Structure 1
């Protein structure tokens, strides 16, 4: 099992952040299916202010490239991503089109 940590910012607006949190109380079943079918075994998202932190544990079949290609071909995932972009904003170091950025582990006990 591999673990990845990613980060992204939300637009710093209390109303929008509240709406974003509500969507994540009951994500669409198609989104859950797309995550699990890609080989993601566990996924958690944490929030501090407007900064999101995602911990993703994946099995040996997981590939970021394959997940991205499957997401691009899935109209429901594209609909979800467009909806979520209403609340999200790219980090300053993100390249055009990048959302969640992979973090480097710098310490482990």
Structure 2
């Protein structure tokens, strides 16, 4: 028997928390430092490394923003899916119980003991 349990309310909470990620990270970028601040010895190497490093960091921030939004949307969709499934199961059980009650009433109405 599995102890795995899904709580749609917790998925809603996760979606809400993750929805704040784009607002927190969106628009952030890293400014390229002046390679001259490293001095003559390291400055020329920094001039080659820094643009790539700065662009990579900015790209990472943009990717994290997109990921946060995507995860938020997926948590919302999962919660909605679990709720829809729960409602479908309840409707199915109600239909089965209602059908059984109607069948039992019909049998009793004909004088057949159940």
Q: Report the TM range for the smaller structure's normalisation.
A: under 0.3
Report the structure, 1 or 2, having the larger helix content: 2
Give the TM-score normalised by the residue count of structure 2.
Answer: 0.22
Q: State the structure with bigger RCO (CA 8 A, min sep 6), 1 or 2.
A: 1
Give the TM-score normalised by the residue count of structure 1.
Answer: 0.23
Report the structure, 1 or 2, having the larger strand content: 1
